[in-house]
């Protein structure tokens, strides 16, 4: 297969079509197999310089290349190369940060953390510490505790609370003050602000059993209550 050439300048010098195709982002094919031209910053820079040198060698003396245009083109191709190097650096930095986050998360194994959750176990009248996460202040906050049959055993009215993490101690009793039976219970947080529903998330204390990698590559904590939370979701370390 022969390749066509393009004439540049007044001296009828030619530049291969492959060189021009590379600059234009085109692809060449041979034997029915198509292969894309180099598009990395360094490939584009090298190809551009080859084309520029050829153009300068064969420019029309009576109509030379505009130096301002040449400077602009050089700056543009240098920007492409710089962006490519920046992407490589950011990728390396991201990998290092991820490794550091995993190492930090590993130190929490065996610790008790207060993290988003709804399920908790009560044994011998002893219940884990609870909490509420509020993105903004609320005029009234409540925690509703239900048993495995879906029956409400107690409602804790926390009143007005500021934004942030609100720790709550539940002594494992029902609304009449009687110790609840051992088992698994569910906690749900609700909040209102000036009579309107507000955002609130229930927090449950649990022991960190292991550190895992989540689907997005970030570190996750596998908790003893069966849930998995992101490291950034931990409200406090108890």
Q: Taking 90 as the threshold, does the pLDDT of residue 191 lie above it?
A: yes
Question: In the beta sheet, which residues pair with residue 8?
Answer: 13
Question: Which helix (H) or strand (E) element contains residue 17?
Answer: helix 17-24
Q: What is the 3-state secondary structure (H, E, C) of 49-107?
A: HHHHHHHHHCCCCCCCCCHHHHHHHHHHHHHHHHHHHHHHHHHHHHHHHHHHHHHHHHC
Residues with Cβ within 8 Å of residue 201, at least 6 apart in sequence:
116, 132, 133, 189
Q: Taking 70 as the threshold, does the pLDDT of residue 20 lie above it?
A: no
Q: Which fold has domain 112-237?
A: Immunoglobulin-like (2.60.40)
Instruction: Look at 21 and 88; give whichever has higher pLDDT.
Output: 88
Q: Which pLDDT score, from 0 to 100, does residue 203 have?
A: 95
Q: Return residue ranges of the chain for CATH 2.60.40.4070.
A: 112-237
Residues 222/228, Cβ–Cβ less than 8 Å = yes
Q: Taking 90 as the threshold, does the pLDDT of residue 134 lie above it?
A: yes
Choose from 65-69, 90-94, 230-234 the range with maximum mean pLDDT.
230-234
Confidence at 66, pLDDT banded by 50, 70, 90? low
Q: Taking 90 as the threshold, does the pLDDT of residue 157 lie above it?
A: yes
Confidence at 230, pLDDT banded by 50, 70, 90? confident
Instruction: Look at 57 and 41; give whichever has higher pLDDT.
Output: 57
Look up the pTM and report it: 0.59
3-state secondary structure (DSSP) of residue 150: coil
Q: Which pLDDT score, from 0 to 100, does residue 160 have?
A: 94
């Amino acid at each position: 297969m022969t390749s066509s050439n393009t004439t540049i300048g007044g001296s009828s010098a030619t530049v291969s079509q492959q060189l021009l195709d590379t600059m234009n982002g085109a692809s060449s094919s041979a034997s029915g197999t198509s292969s894309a031209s180099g598009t990395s910053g360094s490939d584009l820079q090298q190809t551009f310089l080859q084309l520029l040198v050829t153009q300068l060698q064969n420019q029309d003396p009576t109509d030379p290349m505009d130096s301002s245009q040449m400077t602009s083109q050089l700056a543009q191709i240098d920007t492409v190369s710089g962006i490519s190097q920046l992407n490589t650096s950011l990728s390396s930095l991201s990998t290092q940060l991820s490794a550091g986050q995993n190492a930090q998360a590993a130190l929490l194994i065996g610790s008790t953390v207060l993290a988003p959750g709804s399920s908790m176990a009560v044994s011998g009248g002893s219940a884990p510490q609870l909490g509420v996460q509020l993105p903004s202040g609320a005029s009234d906050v409540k925690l509703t505790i239900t048993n495995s049959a879906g029956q409400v055993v107690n409602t804790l009215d926390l009143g007005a609370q500021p934004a942030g993490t609100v720790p709550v101690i539940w002594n494992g009793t029902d609304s009449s003050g009687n110790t609840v039976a051992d088992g698994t219970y569910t906690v749900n947080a609700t909040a209102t602000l000036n009579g309107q529903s507000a955002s609130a998330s229930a927090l449950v204390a649990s022991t960190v059993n292991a550190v895992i990698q989540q689907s997005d590559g970030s570190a996750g904590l596998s908790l003893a209550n069966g849930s998995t939370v992101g490291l950034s979701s931990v409200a406090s370390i108890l």
